[in-house]
Copies of this chain bind each other. A is one copy, B any other.
Amino acid sequence: MRICIIGSSGHYQYVLRGLHKDTRIVAIAPGSAGEEMTPLRKALKELDLHVREYEQYEKMIDIEKPDAVAINSFFGVNSKILIEMLQRKIHSFVEKPIAISFEDLNQIKSLYESVQKDVFFTAMFGLRYKAHFLTAKVLIDSGEIGKIRLLNTQKSYKLGKRHSFYTKRSTYGGTIPWVGIHAIDWINWFTGTKFLTVYATHSKIDNKDHGDLEMTALCHFVLDQEIFACVSIDYLRPEQALTHDDDRVRVVGTKGILEVTRGKVIVLDDKGEREVPLVAEKQIFSEFLSQIKGTGSCMVTPRDSILATEIALKARESADTGRVVEICQVL
Contacts and interface: CB of A to CB of B under 8 A. Distances in A.
A149 B156 CA distance: 13
A263 interface: no
**Dominant secondary structure of chain A at its interface with chain B:** strand
A98 interface: no
A211 interface: no
Given A218-B220, A254-B206, A324-B324, A270 B238 contact: yes
Interface in A49-98: none
Interface in A122-165: 147, 149-150, 152, 154, 156
B230 A201 contact: no
A239 interface: yes
A118 interface: no
Interface in A188-236: 199, 201, 203, 205-206, 215-218, 220, 222, 225-226, 228-230, 232, 234, 236
Contacts of A272: 240
Contacts of A218: 150, 220, 228-230
- Counting every copy of the chain, the complex holds 2
A154 B240 CA distance: 26
Interface in A260-300: 268-273
Interface residues of A, number: 47
B149 A268 contact: no
B156 A257 contact: yes
Given A150-B216, A215-B149, A203 B232 contact: no
A10 interface: no
A58 to B, nearest CB: 42
A139 to B, nearest CB: 15
A150 B234 contact: yes
Contacts of A230: 152, 218, 220, 230, 232
Nearest to A154: B152
A322 interface: yes
Contacts of A270: 238-240
A268 B245 CA distance: 13
B269 A240 contact: yes
B236 A254 contact: yes
B149 A206 contact: yes
A289 to B, nearest CB: 38
Contact of A205 (B201, B225, B255): B225
A17 to B, nearest CB: 28
Contact of A234 (B203, B240, B252): B252
- Name the residue in A218, A241, A268 with the highest tally of chain B Cβ atoms < 10 Å from its Cβ: A218
B252 A216 contact: yes
A269 B206 contact: no
A236 B150 contact: yes
A203 B149 contact: yes
Interface string A290-331: 000000000000000000000000000000001110000000
5 contacts: A149-B206, A150-B234, A152-B232, A201-B228, A240-B269
Interface of A: 147, 149-150, 152, 154, 156, 199, 201, 203, 205-206, 215-218, 220, 222, 225-226, 228-230, 232, 234, 236-242, 250, 252-257, 268-273, 322-324
